[in-house]
Structure 1
Amino acid sequence: MKLLQSLLQGALLATVLGFTAPAVQAEDLLDTVKASGVLKVGMEGTYPPFGYRNSQGQLDGFDVAVARAVADKMGLKAQFVTTEWSGIIAGLQAGKFDIIVNQVSMTPARRQALDFTQPYVYSAVQVLQRSDDKREFGSLEALKGKSVGVTLGSNYAELAKSVSGIQVQTYPGTSENLRDLAAGRIDAALNDRLMLPYLIKNANLPLRTGALLAGTKLEMGIPYRKGNPRFAKAIDDALNTLQQDGTLRKLSIQWLGTDASQPLAQ
């Protein structure tokens, strides 16, 4: 009993004098990447012109170039980890990589689970039409009564289905969608405005871009795990520098044919 009382008194004294064991603090991600000299980047690697394998089998594209530039500004080397889109968020949360650079839109649901940098790409949903189709569809409402092609499981499929009256036609892939559009079997298709120049160029079909859909602005950022304030500042500082020195604009025009680094006037 005396021993127990002595131990309790000692513990109380230590508390009063402030001799409590220090709380264990989680290491900030910045410490981890600085120690290794490597920034691990998650991406699909199958999404041209953002990230894909070139003819030499090397990763190439806009997001690849952005990731390398960000890593360089942080004094690190980018190391890419390719993974399917369906598991890319889970992979980040599991620590398989430090960030994702893969056109990740900054949705409220994702913001609850992850932290994001400032946006580095601004986009919107755009209509794709046949070259000889002079109609303009500036909103989802304008597409009521029209047949609209979308890729199965895409954000665009959900968007089209959200408006009653649109005849939604789903396709397993973009190529099937574009062929039906060119053949006149559907009235229009929906996709990311930044993808359309690439799709039109490579499809070699009589297609053109239509209007940007009102109210469909998209902001893409670089996500990372929550609880890393020093890393957050470091990566945002890197993006700020790339924005200010014109690097983001240059890379955007090089790979996407337009400056996507500035907010859209819509």
Structure 2
Amino acid sequence: MKKLLSMVLSFVFVCALFIGCGGSQKNEEAKNSLERVKNAKKLTVGLEDTYPPMEFRDNKNELIGFDIDIANAIGKKMGVDVEIVPTEFSGLLMALNAGKFDISISAISINDERKKAVDFSKPYAKGGQVVIVKKGDTAVKSVKDLKGKTVGCQLGTTGEEAAKKVEGLKELKTYDKATAPFHDLEIGRLDAVVADEFVGRYYLSKEKDKYDVVDSINEEPIAIAFKKGDKELQEEVQKTIDELEKDGTLSKISMKWFGTDIYKK
């Protein structure tokens, strides 16, 4: 019995030792991530590449978008190359904490649940859900006017969540692609579309004569995600973002993708 007890205690001690070493290793990795990025002269960025205008592929299959330009501007300012790591959105934070990439810039809305998993920068943009109508349509001027109307949104998005909370809709139609409800709005199958403000502003910048944003439903600040405790890299990236806003770089990127300066005070 004593021998067994001794073996058990030894096992527990060894496990504790390994766990402690593992914890120390993780802390050391987080501490040294900025140094690693600078030494490698490369910053790896995880994002989902199917969300225009934030991050998507053009007809040449090249990655473009608002977040892509933000990431490249950060890299240039820090003096490092940027490597994009396409990842399913549902697995982004898990992959970040597993060390698959250094940071994630992918229109990630800050919420309490995500704050438990990762650390965030200050918001670099404030989005939200908006109501979009066909140009010249005066029947819908606010969220309240959606009562009795047919509304479209993209399936599985926060736009769908927001639309479901609107009372009195005649019908809520969902679509697999972000572009699809805009087509149906244009041809009269929908009275309005509920979509992310960035998506809406993007389509307005491309199709100024077709759509109008008439109301906002909520606000969703978005930020850059970091591994828990990765303070040195977080502070460096935040300092860089602050400088990019001050020197007007972020305003130029905003004008390029949204046709308006979201950083204008």
Q: TM-score, normalised by structure 2?
A: 0.81
Query: How many residues get paired?
Result: 239
The CA deviation string for residues 117-163 of structure 1, in whole angstroms up to 9 with x for no partner, is: 11111223221112241134323x44222221111111111111123
SS in 1 for 2:168: coil
SS in 1 for 2:39: helix
SS in 1 for 2:198: coil
Checking the alignment, whether the CA contact within 8 Å between 1:52 and 1:61 is kept in structure 2 is yes
> What do you get for the CA RMSD once the two structures are aligned?
2.4
SS in 1 for 2:68: helix
Distance apart, 1:197 and its partner CA: 4.1
Checking the alignment, whether the CA contact within 8 Å between 1:193 and 1:212 is kept in structure 2 is no
Q: TM-score, normalised by structure 1?
A: 0.80
Deviating above 6 A after TM superposition, structure 1's stretches of 4 or more consecutive aligned residues are none
Amino acid paired to 1:57? N
The CA deviation string for residues 6-44 of structure 1, in whole angstroms up to 9 with x for no partner, is: xxxxxxxxxxxxxxxxx9452312123223221100122
1:34 matched to which residue of 2? 38
The CA deviation string for residues 172-216 of structure 1, in whole angstroms up to 9 with x for no partner, is: 2234322322232221111122222433566x79731132325x1
Q: Which has the higher helix share?
A: 2
Amino acid paired to 1:135? A
Segment of structure 1 superposing worse, 254-263 or 37-46: 254-263
Distance apart, 1:63 and its partner CA: 1.2
Residues 228/205 of structure 1: CA separation in 2 closer, same or farther (3 Å cut):
closer
Counting only pairs closer than 5 Å after superposition, residues 1-266 of structure 1 correspond to structure 2 as: 24=24, 25-27=27-29, 28=31, 29-139=33-143, 141-166=144-169, 167-200=171-204, 207-214=210-217, 216-261=218-263
Q: Larger C-alpha radius of gyration, 1 or 2? A: 1
Checking the alignment, whether the CA contact within 8 Å between 1:136 and 1:210 is kept in structure 2 is no
Structure 1: where are the runs of 5+ without partners?
1-22
Checking the alignment, whether the CA contact within 8 Å between 2:47 and 2:92 is kept in structure 1 is yes
Amino acid paired to 1:150? C
Structure 2: where are the runs of 5+ without partners?
1-22
Percent identity between matched residues is 34
The CA deviation string for residues 204-258 of structure 1, in whole angstroms up to 9 with x for no partner, is: 79731132325x1121111011111211211111111101111111111122211
Checking the alignment, whether the CA contact within 8 Å between 1:61 and 1:255 is kept in structure 2 is yes
